Amino acid sequence: MLTIFRCSPMEIALLNKLNNLPVSPRKKQRIRQFDFSNAAILCWYHGISRKGRRYSLQCDVREDGELEVSCRPVLNGSRSFRMPKTKHFPGQLRS
């Protein structure tokens, strides 16, 4: 069965905000406009690229619902955090 997953408007706004954040590897940034106090996820990684360089953003949810974002460069030898490829089984519809 083929299921379609759609992001909520809040998730789309958050991803747009993360993609537009300025990169500053030495300092952490806090995003207060989204309330994550009831979120089930406490930490995740998001990859971005700026001027040909790749960065990994670590997003941590704080006790008060704020999102704390720290940035680190992805070195040439290491791999960024990739989503696993979907696996297809015989008889399954292909997307």
pTM value?
Answer: 0.63
For the chain, which residues make up each domain, given as ranges?
28-78
Question: ∠78-21-86 over CA atoms, to 5°?
Answer: 50
Give 57's DSSP letter.
Answer: E
Instruction: Name the pLDDT band for 86 (thresholds 50, 70, 90).
Output: low
Instruction: Name the pLDDT band for 1 (thresholds 50, 70, 90).
Output: low
Q: Tell me: pLDDT of 50 over 80.
A: yes
Q: Tell me: pLDDT of 5 over 80.
A: no
**Mean pLDDT of the 70-77 span:** 79
How much of the chain, in percent, has pLDDT values that exceed 70? 72
What is the predicted pLDDT for the residue at 45? 85
